[in-house]
């Protein structure tokens, strides 16, 4: 199975800060990488698909980059509503695997 | 608009069974591969099972192999997951999702395995 390693596991930042979350795959997954935002009691919401494509309706302060094994989710200017847990997911293999999640808190 | 609506969750005793359903609308269901993903309380996301568009390929996570069965009815635009020999560790919210470049997920259905 392809292992996905996310870092950090949690972070605390202020409104307006630039926030970066990284995800590393155990083997090359090309651009088959999705990013999700999940708030308590809610289903995961797709933010970014295919490593860098912004899902319709998602604010432009969210962006994704990377290919191969190393990927990044960036929030350019953190907003209060961005408090959530973020997951990366590889779809290169039919057997999807997910990162362990990054909990983002607002200072 | 793509919609996926899961149902069938509930409270079941260890060793019991449940059948989850996922009703799809807003897209050509018969053309899409589908997966089930689960999330135990307070835990991360775990892929459970995959089925190809015509059900010719099926895969399961090792944790559910031999106990869960995925199926679909393209005429009814529906995906199913039969859960047998349930264990406490199967307690989770179960989500169905499209396997696509641009994936879509349902809102989930809660399965609680407890005596």
pLDDT in tens, B59-99: 999 999 999 999 999 999 999 999 999 999 999 999 999 99
Question: How would you label B51-62 residue by residue, b for 16+ Cβ within 10 Å and e otherwise?
Answer: bebeeeeebbbe
Q: How large is the average pLDDT for residues A68-77?
A: 98
Taking contacts as CB-CB distances below 8 angstroms, the residues of chain B near A97 are 47
Strand order in the sheet with B18-25: B3-7, B18-25, B78-83, B68-73
Q: How large is the average pLDDT for residues B99-112?
A: 95
The beta-carbon neighbor of A101 closest among B44, B102, B108 is B44
Q: Would you say A21 and A86 are in contact if contact means Cβ atoms under 8 Å apart? A: yes
pLDDT in tens, B8-60: 999 999 999 999 999 999 999 999 999 999 999 999 999 999 999 999 999 99
* Contact across the interface for A98 and B61, Cβ inside 8 Å: no
* Contact across the interface for B106 and A91, Cβ inside 8 Å: no
State chain B's mean pLDDT as an integer.
97
pLDDT score for A24? 98
- Give the angle subtended at the CA of A79 by the CAs of A73 and A85, to the nearest 5°: 50
pLDDT score for B101? 86
Q: How far is B16 from chain A (nearest CA, A)?
A: 26
Helix/strand/coil (H, E, C) string of chain B?
Answer: CCEEEEECCEEECCCCCEEEEEEEECCCHHHCEEEEEEECCCCCEEEEEEECCCCCCEEECCCCCCCEEEEEEHHHCEEEEEECCCCHHHCEEEEEEEECCCCCECCCEEEEECC
Taking contacts as CB-CB distances below 8 angstroms, the residues of chain B near A45 are 105
């Amino acid at each position: 199975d392809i292992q996905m390693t996310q870092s950090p596991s949690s972070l605390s930042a202020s409104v307006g800060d630039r926030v970066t979350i990284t995800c590393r795959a155990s083997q090359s997954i090309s651009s088959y990488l999705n990013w999700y935002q999940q708030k308590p009691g809610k289903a995961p919401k797709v933010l970014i698909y295919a490593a860098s494509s912004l899902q319709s309706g998602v604010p432009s302060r969210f962006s994704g980059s990377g290919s191969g094994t190393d990927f990044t989710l960036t929030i350019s200017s953190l907003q209060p509503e961005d408090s959530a847990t973020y997951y990366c997911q590889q779809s290169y293999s039919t057997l999807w695997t997910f990162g362990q999640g990054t909990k983002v808190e607002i200072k | 608009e793509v919609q996926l609506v899961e149902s069938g969750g509930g409270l079941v005793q260890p060793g019991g069974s449940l059948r989850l359903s996922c009703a799809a609308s807003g897209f050509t269901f018969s053309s899409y591969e589908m997966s089930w993903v689960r999330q135990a309380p307070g835990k991360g996301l775990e892929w459970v099972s995959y089925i190809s568009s015509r059900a010719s390929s099926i895969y399961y996570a090792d944790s559910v192999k031999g106990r869960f069965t995925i199926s679909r009815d393209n005429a009814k635009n529906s995906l199913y997951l039969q859960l047998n020999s349930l264990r406490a560790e199967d307690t989770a919210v179960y989500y169905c999702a499209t396997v696509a470049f641009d994936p879509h997920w349902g809102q989930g259905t809660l399965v609680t395995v407890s005596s």
